[in-house]
Structure 1
Amino acid sequence: MTTAEVAGVRAPAWRGGFGRLWIAAVVSRFGDALRTAALPLLAVRLTDDPLVIASVTACGYLPWLLFGLLGGALADRVDQRRAMWAVDTVRGALVASFALAVGFGHASIALMITLAFTLTTLQTLFDNAATALLPSLVDKEALGSANARLMTGQRLAGGLLAGPFVPLLLTVGAAMPFTADAATYLLAAALVASVRIRAPEREPRPAGSTLRAEIAEGLRALWRDRVLRATCTATLLCNIGMGALIATLVLHVTRWLHTGNAGYAAAMTAYSAGSFCGGFVAQHVARRFGRARSLLLGGSVQTASLLLMGTVRHLGALIVGMALLGLMNMVWNVNQVTLMQQRSPADMVGRISSAFRTASTSGAPLGALLGGAVAGAYGLNGPALLAAVLFAFAVISLIPALKPDVSVVEPDDGVTTARVKP
């Protein structure tokens, strides 16, 4: 493992395992964005039923609720690098087969739902394995910078670069976005397979240990750690709020602000641009305030942004609010993931990561339902205000995390617990 000193911040070296993992993650996210954008466009060609079309998207959430904790337990059992490239190889083959079905005119809604469900089921293992693998590739003091670079690259590829390519690929043929996605999976698999690391030493599992017992052990470890418990609770509340906002944002923009599709595009662009910038400042914010206080700062600014969006009936206020929301969302994500990696025991990173992701995924659909109900009952700006209230509760729930303690794993990076002031 190698690191470099960049402007006073420990950063992972690009050469070696981290550089290949970064390229694999960015390439794979680019392909995912192509597929995610193309699937609804293909669905509307096959059916006019909104519920059926929505079910394709819903299948992207369901496997996390069903198998998220199981994926984390498996990630702690297996060789994470091998699991990642094997999963990406299988996903590449599945999407390539779907591309052939589309190309020969055999695509169907049932096939699309099956594909979405299967890919996300495999993702529960891949994502947790990737989170657990990163501490084996970079030093603990460089984890924050590594996470920031990974998330920024993925945001750039998935949020800004992939969008313009979808119409271009569709002009060639309906199967092309899926063909490109399959190629990115296989390229990512090859890159991850080429990474050479020494597997971390693990204590042998007790005789008769079951996945159910290991999942329960991971959940207990998460609950016992006061900082991680508070962070997970806050993350769940924030994701409920974001689910409420995103599900109704198009109504907020087009019917409450009356700015049409151009206003919606401007709002989403502002959010993506803010997220991209957030990747560059997340580690510096952590150096200045500490990771726990960075979460508190991020939640507070997002609360104010949501209040601005929900009370000021002007497109400019929406754009500013969305940009700040994206900026601080990235600051939150980088520091939350890094905090979890650094405080978790090495043999439980996958399970604790899966608990965070399962909570995150369950919050989004719940928030979407709440947002729709609030918009219908209290007005189209109601979801933004509901989200502000939930973010405020998230900030309050973080207060226990600000008390100094001795972490489960004690990284000497100066931003996790060692310099956190009460």
Structure 2
Amino acid sequence: AVLGVADVLAATAGSALVPAAVAREHRPRVNAWTVGAETVGQEFAGPFVGGLLLAAGTGLALGAIGVTYAAAALLLVLLAGRFRPAAPAPGTPAVPVNTRIAEGLRLLWRDPVLRTLSLTAAALNAVWGAWLALMPLHAHQAMGLGPGEYGFLLSGLGIGGLVGAATVTWVNRLLGPRRAMLADLLGTCAMTALPALTTSLWAVAAGAFLGGMGGTLWAVNSRTLTQHKVPDALLGRYTAASRLLCYGALPIGTAAAGLLAELLGTRTVFAVISVLALTTVIPFLRRVKAADLTGTSAP
């Protein structure tokens, strides 16, 4: 529980740190490197090294985790500087923490672009939660996959994420950030629709690849958009409010998918969540403009 709370604090602080440490024109590249590092660590290096360590012994695996966290803490010592918003003027009354939280929520809800961005991400997270919950059962019962084939299917997510992190700068130059984020919405539709349409391993793995790649394109560009639009002093509060909404949708999507699968079957639920993913396209296109993603829109 303590580690889970600390992870949220670290992620929120990390996203708020980037604008203070990095000039505006370099933020897309820095966000791409950050998301790429997260993808490599979470999807590839972490599971692979963790599996090897666990095979060598549980004590060794747990001890290595402690050493890794200690090394990460030491690396932060190298981060020189005090990256804080401007201090309030002398004599300014202290603001209660609940008021600060409310400021982040109001900012999220009153700004149409930020509200659309957060609600879209929440819908996509619900879809991803449903996909991840249903895929093991669907792969075993409907597709007849063994452990090795299922591992190949899931690797499509990680490979797609890594390719997205490596090519996001090129994709943004080719399509523009807005169309790159739209590609994520369409990729998520493909990822969820293909299991409803076919039992082909290659087709479903290709959909997972598109979903993983699109997820990285969305993550990089949505972080950059947020850093452009939200004042530095409110960035941590906004990020916390947005994460509450977005990550709160994950267990909702998971639970709803399980219930519907009991009643309708997994293929029908995949079709339903693909329609849900598709419904995010029109609000996104109506509210999020290219100027918002380049930081040229009026504040």
TM-score (norm 2): 0.92
1:54-87 Cα shifts (integer Å, max 9, x gaps): xxxxxxxxxxxxxxxxxxxxxxxxxxxxxxxxxx
Q: Is 1:302 matched with 2:188?
A: yes
Report the equivalent of 1:416.
294
Q: Is 1:173 matched with 2:57?
A: yes
Deviation at 1:201, TM superposition (A): 4.3
Q: Distance in 2 between matches of 1:180 and 1:196?
A: 27
Report the equivalent of 1:108.
none
Deviation at 1:256, TM superposition (A): 0.9
135, 139, 147: which is aligned to 2:19? 135
Aligned-residue CA RMSD (Å): 1.9
Q: Distance in 2 between matches of 1:118 and 1:219?
A: 24
Deviation at 1:293, TM superposition (A): 3.2
Q: 1:152 touches 1:280 (CA, 8 Å); kept in 2?
A: yes
181, 188, 197: which is aligned to 1:311? 197
**Amino acid paired to 2:277:** F
Report the equivalent of 1:374.
260
Equivalent residues, number: 295
Q: Is 1:267 matched with 2:150?
A: no
Deviation at 1:120, TM superposition (A): 0.7
Q: 1:227 touches 1:400 (CA, 8 Å); kept in 2?
A: no
Deviation at 1:336, TM superposition (A): 1.2
Q: 1:304 touches 1:388 (CA, 8 Å); kept in 2?
A: yes
Deviation at 1:404, TM superposition (A): 6.2
Structure 1 gap ranges (5+): 1-116, 408-414
Q: 1:243 touches 1:367 (CA, 8 Å); kept in 2?
A: yes
Report the equivalent of 2:73.
189
Percentage of identical aligned residues:
27
**Amino acid paired to 2:161:** S
**Amino acid paired to 1:187:** A
162, 175, 186: which is aligned to 1:276? 162
Higher helix share: 2
**Amino acid paired to 1:196:** A
TM-score (norm 1): 0.66
329, 332, 340: which is aligned to 2:218? 332
Report the equivalent of 2:35.
151
**Amino acid paired to 1:269:** S
Q: CA 1:291–1:404 in structure 2 vs 1: closer, same or farther (change >3 Å)? A: closer
Structure 2 gap ranges (5+): none
SS at match of 1:195: coil
Deviation at 1:417, TM superposition (A): 4.6
**Amino acid paired to 2:248:** S
Q: Distance in 2 between matches of 1:289 and 1:417?
A: 17
Deviation at 1:313, TM superposition (A): 1.9
Q: Distance in 1 between matches of 2:290 and 2:40?
A: 35
Deviation at 1:367, TM superposition (A): 0.5
Q: 2:20 touches 2:83 (CA, 8 Å); kept in 1?
A: yes
